[in-house]
Structure 1
Amino acid sequence: MRKTFLSIMAVMLLLAAALLGCSQRPSGATDAPADGKAASGGSQPAAAGGDKTKLTVYSTMTDSSNQDVMKQIAADFTKENPNLQIEFQFPGSEYENILKVKMAANDLPDVFDTHGWAIIRYGKYLADLKDEPWAAQQTDTIKPVVTDKDGKVHALVMSEAKDGISYNADILQKHNIEVPKTFEELVAAAEKIKTESKGETSPFFMSGIDNSMIGGFLDLHATAFFISPKQNDAQSLIDGKFDWNKWTPLAQTLLDLQSKGYINKDVLTAKRSDMPQRFAQGKVAFVTGSPSFADEVHKINPNVKIGIMPLPSVVPGDEPTFTGGERYTMAAWKDGKHLAEAKKLIAFFAKPENMSKIANATKLPSGLKNIESKHEFSEFYAKYSNIRVFPYFDRVYLPNGMWDVMCKTGTALLGGNITPAQFSEKMKQEFERLRNK
C-alpha cells in the first residue's frame, strides 16, 4: 500500500514539474514573427513537421522604435530560415548585471550586444568573426575598437557612437555664435547666451537625478584633458602611474560652469526627462553627448534645429574630437550550441539594406563602410567624417566600477559636498582599490 502511494506521488510530482517547465518564460522576451506582423515580434510556434532552433538575442536598445526595427529584420531572416526562431531580450538598465551573472555561469545568449566592452569585458567569451564577409567592410574608426592585436573581430558594430556636444542650432544662430572649436570658445558662447537671454536660456543642461549626464561630461572631457593632446597621460593611466592631482583642473572646470550660472540652476533635482521640453522651448543650448533625445524634442516642437559638434579641444594646439566606439553591436557566444546559426543571423543583419535601416532608426553612423543613411544628422556626420574618434575614457583607462564613482562624486561636487581636490583624491583611492580588486 505504501509502495503504491509513493508511486502515485512520484507521478504527480513529475507531472507538476513538467507543467511548471512549460509555463515558464523569461520576462521581457519577444520573438521575431515569421510574417513580421505580430505585435510581440515572435516567430510562430514550431510546425508539426519538426522543432525549430531558438536563438536568443540580448540587446541594450531601449527605444521601442529601434527595437521594432531589430524585430522586423529578424522577421525577414526567419522568412528565409523558417527552421530558426529568434527570441529577443531588451533588459534595459539591468542589462549589465544580467550579463555579468551569465558570464559567471558561462551561460550567455547566442547573440548579444557588447555595448562598448567587446574586447575588454567579453573578449574571451566571443567567437572570432574575422572570416565573415562583412568583416572587411568595417569603418576605419570602428575596426580597432572591436579588433584585437591578433586580428580577432569580436562583434558586428551596427551603430557607431560619435559623442560630442548636441546643440540648439536656433539658439546659436539667434546669438550669432559659430560652433565652438575650443573649450575657451565654448565658455565664451555660454556667457553670451546667458547674458543676452537674460538668464532665460541655460547654456548647459545636466541632471543630478540621472547623474550619468554629469559623469558623461567628465568622461568625454577627460579625453580632451588627458588623451587627445600630443603630450598626454594615456600610458601613465594604463600603467597605473597617473598623477591624480591632474584631475583637479577638470573637476574645477565643471564647478566653474556651475558657479558662473552656465548649468541649469536645478541641476541636483532636474531629471533627464525634463531636458527635451526645455530644449524644445529654447531654454537649453548645449547637451553633452549624442542627440538621442531628438525625437522627444520634435514631438514638442518639430521646427527646432538640432546640431551635433565634436568635443572642443582643451589643450592649446590640440584639435576637436569625438568620443565613440561601439553603440549597438551583435556578437556570438563562442561556446553556444548554435554558433553557426548565430553567425548566420549576424551576417543577415550585416546586409547593407539592413544596416541602412538600423542607421536611420538610431540616427548614428554605421560600423560598416558604404552604408547609405538619410536622417537629420547625416549631414553632420558627413561634415565631421575626418574628426578623430577616441574610445570612451572610462572603458580604456579606468577599472570596472569607476564610472559610478565619477557620476556620484561629480554630483557631490556640484552639491557643494566636496572640493575639486577632494574629488581627485577620491578618484585616486577608488582607482587603486578597483584596479587591484
Structure 2
Amino acid sequence: MIENHVDLNSFVKSIQVNVFVADKELNLVYMNDYARKTLKSIEPAIKAVFQVSVADMEGASIHRFHRDPKRVEAILKTPLALPHKADFEFGGITLRTNINAVWDDSGQLEAYVVNWEDVTSRDQLEGSLNLKLLELGSANQELQKRNRQIEQDEAELKVAHEELNKTHAYLNIKMAQLKQSNQDLESFATIASHDLMAPVRKIINFAESLHENGSHCSGDDKLLLEKILLSGERMRLLITDILDYSRLAGHSFVFERINLNDVLSEVLAILADQILYTGAKVIIAGELPVIDANKTQMIQLLQNLISNALKYRKEDTAPVLKISATQTKEFALVALEDNGIGIKDEHKDLVFQPFERLNPAVEGTGMGLAICKKVVVSHGGEISVQNLPEGIGSVFNIKLPVRHNQ
C-alpha cells in the first residue's frame, strides 16, 4: 500500500500545491488540504456536472468526476505516456495538471500522483501581458514611424532654414542696395537743385532782361522770348516737382499729432489768389480729424488736390469743391469732391503715375497726383478717384491711419 512507502500527510500537508494520489485501479485515495480548498471554490460546478460533492470524491473512481475517463485511463495505462501534462477549464478556472507514476522496488506500478494548479490568473495575466506586448509593439512601430517623420521634418526644416538664411542674406543685400539707391537719389536731388535749376534760372533771367529791354526787338523776336520764358518757367516747375517727388522717396519724415483743419486753413490761404481768380467755392462739410502725420506733406497733399480741382474745371463753370471726412478707430477717411471735367474709368489708376498729363490743354507737369500718392503711401494709407454719377465731376478718397508707429 502507498501508506507503507510514503507518509503523504506529513509530506504534502503544508505544500501550497494541489495534490491528488490515485491507486493503480484509478481510485482517488488522497487529496491534500490545498487541493480540497481549491475544489471547494468550484464545488457548485462539480455537483452540477458530475453530481458529486468534494467530500464524495475522495475514495471514488476518477470515472465519476472526469468528462473523458476512458481517455485518462488510456494515458495512465500507457507507461510511455507518463509523465503527462494537460490544461483544462472547469468552473470558470483553468487547471494545469501534471500526472506522474509511482513505481515499487520491483518496477511495478503502484500509484499515480497528480499535482495541479489554478493558472487562471496567470493565463489572464499572460493574456493581458501579450495584449500589452502587442500594444507596445504597435506603439513602438508608431513611435518609429513618428521618429522617421520627425527626422524627415527636421531635414525639411533644415533645408527651409538654409533657404531662409539665403533669402535673408539676399534681402540684406537688396536692402543695402536700396539704401545706396536712396542715397544716390538724394545726391541726385541735391545736384538737380543746384546744377539743373541754376541754368534754368539764368535762361529765365536772360529772357526777362531781353524782353524788358526789347525796344530793338521785332514782334517775332518778342514772341520767341515769351515762349522761352514760358518754357523756362515750365522747366522750373517740373524740376521742382521732380525734387519734391525724389525727396519723398529718399527721406524719413517725422510724424506728429496734427489737426487737418489747421492744415486745410493754411492750404486755403496759400491758394487764396487762385481761388479768387477762378471764382471757386470751397465747402467744408464738418470737422476734419486729428491724425499722426508729417505736416509739410499733408500741406503738399491737400494743396495739390485742391489746385488740381481748380485747374481741371469745366469751361464757363465756377469750381465747387466739397471737403468732408469720417473717422473709424483706426483710419481717417477724407473725401474731396469737385464739379470739374471728371476722370474716365480707364484713367483712374493712370492719373497717379509720374508725368501723366491726360489733358494737354491744361498747364501742368504731370507730377501733382503722383506726389499725392507718394505722400499717402508714405503714411501707410491709400488714395483713389472715382467719377460722380452722370459724370459730374469726381471724388478723391484718401484713407490715412489715425496713429502711426514710426
TM-score by length of 1: 0.19
Greater C-alpha Rg = 2
Question: Higher relative contact order at CA 8 Å, sep ≥6: structure 1 or structure 2?
Answer: 1
TM-score by length of 2: 0.20
Indicate the structure with greater strand content: 2
